[in-house]
Amino acid sequence: MYVAVKGGEKAIKNAHQLLADRRRGKRDVPEISADQIREQLSLAVDRVMSEGSLYDRDLAALAIKQARGDLIEAIFLIRAYRATLPRLGYTQALSTATMQVERRISAIFKDLPGGQVLGPTFDYTHRLIDFKLAAEQEIASGVEAQAQPGAPMPKVASLLGEEGLIETASAADGEGDPTEMADITREPLSFPCGRDLRLQSLARADEGFLLALAYSTQRGYGRTHPFVGEIRVGAVDVEFFVEELGFEVPLGRLQVTECEMVNQFVGTDTLAPQFSTGYGLVFGHCERKAMSVALVERALRAEEFGETVQAPAQDAEFVLSHCDNVQAMGFVEHLKLPHYVDFQSELQLVRQLRKDFAARPAQGAEKASVK
Amino acid sequence: MIESPHETGYNFAYLDEQTKRMIRRAIMKAIAIPGYQVPFAAREMPMPHGWGTGGVQLTAALLGPEDVLKVIDQGADDTTNAVSIRQFFQKTAGIATTTRTDEASIIQTRHRIPEMPLKAGQILVYQVPIPEPLRFLEPRETETRKMHALEEYGLMHVKLYEDIARHGYIATTYAYPVRVEGRYVMDPSPIPKFDNPKMQMSPALQLFGAGREKRIYAIAPHTRVASLDFDDHPFKINRFDRPCALCGGEGVYLDEVLMDDRGQRMFVCSDTSYCESRRAMGHGPVDASAEPAR
Amino acid sequence: MSHGPGAGFKNPVFDSQRLFRQAMMALATPGQICEMAMDAEPPAPFMAAMAGLALCLVDFETPLWLDAAFDRPEVLQYLRFHTGARFAPKPDAAAFALIGHALAMPNLSDFSLGTLENPHRSTDLFIQVEYLSNGEGPTLAGPGVAVPIELRAGPLPRDFWAQRLAMQRHFPCGLDIYFVCGNRLAAVPRSTRLMGDLPCM
């Protein structure tokens, strides 16, 4: 006798218990702490903060632990958490020009005011597995270098701007009143969308998706002739304007990565030739992500510069509708849910179609095989 | 005074009041413009997109302490995702739940409409993956929005007619598009087209939520809902040529259950609550033997 | 002498949920008169159901337009305090319009009717009336109306229903109208069709 499957509740409970067990792994290995993740897997933490759109290192570290190192799952935890946080207000725009820099490089000038600061980077490391790391060891503390100590470090874009060689940001790009900015978490994306919504979407977009799109522009699918104008990583102050006080109060500091791509632009009938820019700003130290954002951002400005929109990376509706990994993972993985009701309908249909097909004279089969 | 019963530190029914208000306003517009997809700022929910976040946000905005909630997936109350969503609201809102269609004030569903006719005052909340019925004909939102604005539904009719030309009938078996009150073409969510006629002039309020796609739409009670068809090819639903093997119910949607690897199968009600209540009333199999393979 | 704003919801979570459900059912069943019980203490000229609608639907995201009857310091203070409302300078910039003196209200076409692509970006009208009953009014039909129903509401401008009738051909653009009388509420959404001869108000 057939009995319909029951006990979904129990099955779920057991699955959660097993999950907790597997997350912990072998009990004779010490449990990893959120502090260890925050300090020693800090780039994973930065990615989770950046794509989770919440600047909280401790919470991101805990999410990584809870997600067994599945970063998209951790990002999802952070997003769901932040969704119900009260919105107390909007801070002033961050000033990256006054950033306390720990890394700053430009590829378009050999040297420049403030100098090149390599900082902590994988660049120029030889990618050889360091077997010594398998054992605990003392690590000497790093030397913080500033190329020209005390010298101001102007933005590279502003150096070019003095000659009018590069486009200047307009108020619509974010120099205006922060309360007038669109907010991706408070209104659904609609097209065409402004630079504010575009940059917000890209800042929380999946790194892998953006990396691939950025790469595609380099291979000719929406070429943008990019140069790394500047990448800077460091701490910026967050300030909040208090109406009752009439001035700004500091709330704290954030570590961010900023990338400005400088792109050749030959001009049109109405626009003079000058360098255009693609911009990327993300939480934490996420250099690959910031560069990808900047490349894709510039590609998405194709229409603005009278370029034909033909490559995937230039198509705002395509890019922005599919760049969010929390949305993408949910919808791809929802195929695991039962679909047997719809499948039953399809079964009936395919059986009917096959019956019709078999009843047809032989030419039916030929036709189908040609197709 | 009732306090939120949850142990999680979240608001009653999880969402904050500001979010609920935003969703409630979207629901009002949706009811006033039946079949039109109202954009709303869907929040990230603690379950994945595509797993019912749209329906969950609707239910969270609707729920009050007096509600009795039923959650079904594939017509069944005991499927894992239905269980999970029901537990979510038990935990965050502490409300009463039921598996009985006639006892529920709100029914959240994925892929089915209950067999038992709904009553005035009941609310049916559908989980919707892709709310745009024209999406597979035209992937761009900017374009489909225009098509709805101008009532340009020719593309949809062409697609359906191509089916007829090739197969002699329309080869769409679920998520079969409907026209609401003679105006908007609407996706009824992936319910089998068997369920489409239940939407027509239903006394219940029907709300549709697509969280990932950030759309809410609605069918007011007593609203005309016509499945798209042609004069010479009227809309038809597929009926099953046998009753439910457990309760003997006829004219209902059946699941095909494989019994072994030699093609033995049986057909049982997809609506488990309907099947159980019939059996409780003493109905049984019309013919106890499972159907042999065809 | 300065007073604080009158009391809002005693329990914001459950009061706004209950009132929303009542307003939603009113909208889903056009012409049906629904109770909207409220125990807030809004200033004049607020009727109970009007305050209920405002407190459960309005916030800083929805610009609000007030007619002359409502445009008073106590009302502004009350709404600002309990809803964080922002105020719209013109009727067509408002998501909601509160109308206390219907006879002097603007023409319906002065409010935002939405656009064909975005019909939901329209103004919802909350109109306070002195009488509200079924019978001896225009006959309503359409979605949500099981059997055509007459709705008598007023006093309203003489050509109110004629304006409303003229608006029907613009559907899906249009206005969703809520009539409030004391603690009772009836709705006429844009999907509702007026039938037969229109009575003169």
Q: Which tens digits make up the pLDDT trace of C80-102?
A: 999 999 999 999 999 999 999 99
Classify residue B279 by burial, with Cβ atoms within 10 Å: 0-12, 13-18, 19+: middle
| Mean pLDDT comparison of A168-177, B79-88, B281-290, highest-scoring range | B79-88
Q: Say which of B52, B55, B211, B275 is annotated catalytic.
A: B275
The 10s digit of each residue's pLDDT in A311-320 is: 999 999 999 9
Q: Best of B15, B92, B173, B247 to disrupt the A interface by mutation (most A CBs within 10 Å)? A: B173
CA atoms of C33 and C153, how far apart (whole Å): 11
Candidates A188, A330, A347; nearest CB to B50: A330
Identify the CA nearest to C57 among candidates C94, C108, C111: C94
For residue B38, give how far its alpha carbon lies from the nearest alpha carbon of chain A (Å).
10
- Tell if the CB–CB gap between C11 and B2 is shorter than 8 Å: yes
Candidates B16, B87, B112; nearest CB to A84: B16
Candidates B75, B78, B140; nearest CB to A341: B75
Beta strand spans in chain C (E): 34-35, 64-66, 96-99, 124-128, 131-141, 149-154, 176-181, 184-188, 193-195
Catalytic annotation on B154?
A: no
Q: What is the pLDDT of residue A168?
A: 75
User: What is the mean predicted confidence (pLDDT) over A94-123?
Assistant: 91
- Tell if the CB–CB gap between B174 and A347 is shorter than 8 Å: no
Return the residue matching tokens 């996420």.
A286
The 10s digit of each residue's pLDDT in B198-246 is: 999 999 999 999 999 999 999 999 999 999 999 999 999 988 999 999 9
Q: Best of B4, B16, B20, B25 to disrupt the C interface by mutation (most C CBs within 10 Å)? A: B25
Catalytic annotation on B284?
A: no
If pLDDT is split at 50, 70 and 90, which confidence band does C25 have? very high
CA atoms of A91 and A241, how far apart (whole Å): 7
Q: Which residues are CB-contacts of A263 (< 8 A; sequence separation ≥ 6)?
A: A224, A225, A226, A227, A275, A276, A277, A278, A298
Q: Say which of B35, B52, B75, B209 is annotated catalytic.
A: B35
Closest chain B residue to A331, measured at CA: B50
Q: Which two tokens stand for residue A328?
A: 């993408």
Catalytic annotation on B269?
A: yes
Candidates B45, B50, B192; nearest CB to A342: B192
Classify residue B258 by burial, with Cβ atoms within 10 Å: 0-12, 13-18, 19+: exposed
Strands C64-66 and C96-99: what pairing? parallel
Q: What is the pLDDT of residue A122?
A: 93
If pLDDT is split at 50, 70 and 90, which confidence band does A138 have? confident
Q: What is the pLDDT of residue A366?
A: 47
Residues 93-112 of C with CB under 8 A from B: 95
Catalytic annotation on B247?
A: yes
- Tell if the CB–CB gap between B141 and A82 is shorter than 8 Å: no
DSSP symbol at B222:
S
Whether the CB-CB separation of B219 and B201 falls below 8 Å is answered with no
Classify residue B251 by burial, with Cβ atoms within 10 Å: 0-12, 13-18, 19+: exposed
A-contacting chains (≥3 CB pairs under 8 Å): B
Question: What is the pTM assigned to this prediction?
Answer: 0.90
The 10s digit of each residue's pLDDT in A282-294 is: 999 999 999 999 9
User: What is the mean predicted confidence (pLDDT) over A119-128?
Assistant: 92
Name the average pLDDT for chain B: 92
pLDDT at residue C146 tops 70: yes
Distances (CA, A) of C18 to A31, A370, B20, B63, C10: 48, 62, 13, 9, 12
Return the percent helix, strand and coil in chain A, to nearest 5: 45, 15, 40
The 10s digit of each residue's pLDDT in B71-129 is: 999 999 999 899 999 999 999 999 999 999 999 999 999 999 999 999 999 999 999 99
Q: Which residues are CB-contacts of B253 (< 8 A; sequence separation ≥ 6)?
A: A341, A344, B75, B112, B115, B192, B194, B195, B240, B269, B270, B271
pLDDT at residue A185 tops 70: yes
- Tell if the CB–CB gap between A84 and B193 is shorter than 8 Å: no
| Mean pLDDT comparison of A198-202, A222-226, C194-198, highest-scoring range | A198-202
- Tell if the CB–CB gap between B48 and A329 is shorter than 8 Å: yes
Q: What is the pLDDT of residue A86?
A: 79
pLDDT at residue C199 tops 70: no
Distances (CA, A) of B254 to B115, B239, B250, B270: 11, 9, 9, 5
User: What is the mean predicted confidence (pLDDT) over A169-193?
Assistant: 72
Model-level ipTM above the cut of 0.90:
yes
Closest chain C residue to B216, measured at CA: C120
Q: Which two tokens stand for residue A194?
A: 């402004």
Peptide bond before residue C45 is cis, with ω within 30 degrees of 0 = yes
Q: Which two tokens stand for residue A357?
A: 């097909």
- Tell if the CB–CB gap between B28 and C124 is shorter than 8 Å: yes
Return the residue matching tokens 């109308």.
C99
Angle between helices B17-32 and C12-28 (to 10 degrees): 0
Please, what is the end-to-end C-alpha distance for chain A in angstroms? 45
Bridge partner residues of B207 (DSSP): B125, B218
Q: What is the pLDDT of residue B10?
A: 74
Closest chain A residue to B52, measured at CA: A334
Ramachandran category for residue B214: left, alpha or beta (phi over 0 → left; psi -120 to 50 → alpha): left
- Tell if the CB–CB gap between A344 and B256 is shorter than 8 Å: yes
Q: What is the pLDDT of residue C6?
A: 86
Name the average pLDDT for chain A: 88
Side chain identity at residue A38, one-letter code? R
Whether the CB-CB separation of C138 and C157 falls below 8 Å is answered with no
The 10s digit of each residue's pLDDT in C42-60 is: 999 999 999 999 999 999 9
Bridge partner residues of A45 (DSSP): none
CA atoms of B92 and B6, how far apart (whole Å): 5
Q: What is the pLDDT of residue A143?
A: 79
CA atoms of C124 and C187, how far apart (whole Å): 11
CA atoms of A229 and A218, how far apart (whole Å): 16
Please, what is the end-to-end C-alpha distance for chain C in angstroms? 42
Share of chain B above pLDDT 70, in %: 94
- Tell if the CB–CB gap between A345 and B173 is shorter than 8 Å: yes
Whether the CB-CB separation of B201 and B34 falls below 8 Å is answered with no
C-contacting chains (≥3 CB pairs under 8 Å): B
Candidates A87, A188, A333; nearest CB to B39: A188
Q: Cite the DSSP H helix spans in chain A.
A: 8-24, 34-40, 42-52, 57-66, 71-83, 156-161, 195-203, 207-218, 287-300, 316-322, 325-333, 340-359, 363-370
Q: Cite the DSSP H helix spans in C8-124.
A: 12-28, 48-57, 73-83
Return the residue matching tokens 């994945």.
B48
| Helix, strand, or coil (residue B269) | strand
CA atoms of A174 and A53, how far apart (whole Å): 18
- Tell if the CB–CB gap between B212 and A76 is shorter than 8 Å: no
Q: What is the pLDDT of residue C3?
A: 62
Q: Say which of B54, B55, B248, B269 is annotated catalytic.
A: B269
| Helix, strand, or coil (residue C181) | strand
Q: Which two tokens stand for residue A126?
A: 């030889």
Q: Which residues are CB-contacts of A306 (< 8 A; sequence separation ≥ 6)?
A: A268, A271
Angle between helices C12-28 and B53-62 (to 10 degrees): 100
B215-219 β-sheet, strand order = B38-39, B215-219, B205-210, B123-127, B106-110, B68-73, B96-97
Q: What is the pLDDT of residue A362?
A: 65
